[in-house]
Structure 1
Amino acid sequence: MGTIAFIGLGIMGSPMAVNLAQAGHTVTGWNRSPGRTQPLEAAGGRAAGSIAEAVRDADVIITMLPASPQVEQCVLGDGGVFAHARKGALYIDMSSITPRTSVELAEAGAAKGIRVLDAPVSGGEAGAIEGVLSIMVGGEPADFEEARPVFEAVGRTMVLCGPHGSGQTVKAANQLIVAVNLEAVAEALVFLEKSGVETTAALEVLAGGLAGSTVLDRKKDSMLARDFRPGFRVDLHHKDMAVVMDTAREIGAVLPLGAIAAQLIAAAAARGDGDLDHSALLRGVEMLSGTAKD
């Protein structure tokens, strides 16, 4: 089992770090805001007072941060990962950032003698807690194989998608699919409710047919209950859809449904739903349909 530094103990990072500790790895955690290290410490890990302290003796360094600016600050800054990690360490960024940033991190790491993988995840808070995340990886095959025990502690599916940046490109595609799927489920639910159909039964049978999806399975009960406690916040999906649309523009891909989904998520963020779960797209459909209760 390896010595791991885990930077970023938020909704996703905290249970991932806990799972690594419970798998037998030696895990030292650090978080930008205080008060988030208790679950890791309870699982046998320890808290560090700085990034430098966390990474100094680590074989593997993981970041799980909100977006490219936070990753760049924590990794490339004077007090960051690359300034203090030992030569030969393996750095794995499991955040969701732009493919371009992942390539730049790999180049900066190589200059310091640090190997880099981009390895964003899908599965939300529930997947992180259960240790069943899907992990999309970009980088060198040998580094991917070395990281496999780490990935197996937090995920069920792990695939090397190509060179540096490939993992982030696949994650962007994942977020595109999830956004469109969430909107479709929200619209279907309002359609069923306004038709007078018993919605619990309707969603159950839909989930068993071609319309079934992981999004429907994981979100139908909370959407029926209008329980939008965040597993993955609207604001984060808003950020991810900006990555999707910017990347699409760069490569010349036309994404009509993606553009609509991006605007609907932007509208949810603008009306103050940014801290809610992304299934709160349902609130926008209710507003348009005249069924919103607030």
Structure 2
Amino acid sequence: MTEPLAYAFVGLGHLGGNLAASLLRSGFAITVFDRDPAAIARLVALGAASAASPAEAAARAGNAITCLPSPKVSEAVLTGPGGLLSGLPKGATWIEMSTNGRDDILRLADLAADSGIYTLECPVTGGVHLAAEGKITALVGGDPALYARHRIAIEAMCARSFLMGPVGSAAVIKVITNMLAFIHLVAAGEALMLARKGGLDLAQAYHAIVASSGNSFVHETESQLVLNGSYDIGFTMDLALKDLGFALGMGDEFGVPLDLASRVAAIFEQGKAAYGGDAWSTMVVKLLEDSTGSDLRAPGFPAKL
């Protein structure tokens, strides 16, 4: 029986930490690195080994996975001093689970290829809570044979995976799914405020929408955090604006007018100005609460999903 592949895992934030934990639960050997010592300690307590740099983690494991907040950080982890490319052996695979623009991942994959490293792009969708349960969805771009080689590891982290095409393809669909999610979030907030101002019981309105043609995954999940008042989705305004920027850039590149996405991006800019870039993205709904003087609280909803 073939031994399972080992992986370096760099980037142990809200999302990456849960993905790495899923690999450990499935019996994979992983060596972790993060700028936050506490994040490393959480994974070491679950059975991971730790390293002093991405290069050291990569040299030990032979393959690498990253889950990072921006293309700039991904590039630094890949190519910078002590980066993955200085530790990975030729013929190794880098699995990039961060959300990037298409041009970003193509450029980074070319840099990896120059060092003899193969790339799979593998952004995920569904939210941090599904990552914690191993039920998130992977969107994969890359060579089919390379995907087959690493599919066991990908599906240890993700309940479903979709090979979208060559590298760059997953970036397009991931940006599309996130664009839809932010549009749905703003729409759900407006719907709930109409219910509030119309004198409805908000809990009953929530459940009625779930059972209706107007339902969405975002309403089912993020509306609960709005109704609780915690807003704690584990995803920030800055990250939302980054992804909306990718979408608007693709719209310009492909000649597609994105009127809704443009308006939603402007609303998120207002949210960042009001609450800060580190505020949870769901707090974009608080703009409506503040402007109307009416909150959207209802009993029976969780503080976290």
Bin for the TM-score computed over the shorter chain = over 0.9
Residue identity opposite 2:214 in structure 1 = A
Aligned Cα root-mean-square deviation (Å): 1.4
| Residue-pair matches, total | 293
Partners of 2:17 and 2:43 within 8 A in 1? yes
**Contact 2:31/2:60 (8 A) holds in 1:** no
Cα distance per residue 1:165-200 (max 9 Å; x no partner): 111111110111001000010101111111110010
TM-score of the two chains, using structure 1 as the length reference: 0.96
Matches within 5 A, 1:38-187: 38-187=41-190
Q: Which residue is 2:253 aligned to?
A: 250
Counterpart CA distance in 2 for 1:212 and 1:154 is: 27
Aligned counterparts of 2:62 and 2:89: Cα–Cα separation in 1: 8
Q: How much has 1:289 moved relative to structure 2?
A: 2.7
Contact 1:230 1:276 in 2 (8 A): no
**Contact persistence 1:273–1:280 (CA under 8 A):** no
Is 1:9 the counterpart of 2:12? The answer is: yes
Q: Does 1:227 align with 2:224?
A: no
Q: Which runs of 4+ in 1 moved over 3 A?
A: none
What is the alpha-carbon distance in structure 2 between the residues aligned to residue 93 and residue 64 of structure 1?
7
Asked if the contact 2:6/2:29 (under 8 Å) is kept, the reply is yes
* Kept after mapping to 1: 8 A contact 2:225/2:233: no
Spell out the pairing of 1:195-214 with structure 2 (5 A cutoff): 195-214=198-217
Find the partner of 1:275 among 275, 278, 291.
Answer: 278
Q: Deviations over 1:201-223 (max 9, x none)?
A: 11102101211221111122211
TM-score (norm 2): 0.92
Q: Deviations over 1:103-127 (max 9, x none)?
A: 0111112221111011111122101
Supply the distance in 1 between the matched residues of 2:160 and 2:6 (Cα, whole angstroms).
Answer: 23
Q: Point out where structure 1 has 5 or more consecutive residues left out of the alignment.
A: none
Q: 1:273 to 1:195 in 2, by over 3 A?
A: farther
TM superposition shift of 1:287: 2.8
Query: How far 1:273 sits from its partner (Å)?
Result: 3.8
Q: Greater shift after overlay, 90-99 or 35-44?
A: 35-44
Partner-residue secondary structure (3-state), 2:38? coil
Alignment of 1:286 with 2:298, yes or no, is: no
TM-superposed CA distance for 1:39, in Å, is 2.1
Once the two structures are TM-superposed, the CA of residue 263 in structure 1 deviates from its matched residue by: 0.9
Amino acid of the structure 2 residue aligned with 1:196: G
C-alpha separation in 1, matches of 2:121 and 2:154: 12
Instruction: Please tell me whether the aligned partners of residues 120 and 168 of structure 1 are also in contact (alpha carbons under 8 angstroms).
Output: yes
Q: Check conservation: 2:140, 2:162, Cα contact below 8 A.
A: yes
Question: In the TM superposition, what whole-angstrom CA distance separates every residue of 1:26-83 from its partner, at most 9, and x where no partner exists?
Answer: 0111002332112211211121111111000323211100001000111021321112
- Structure 2's unaligned 5+ residue stretches are 297-305
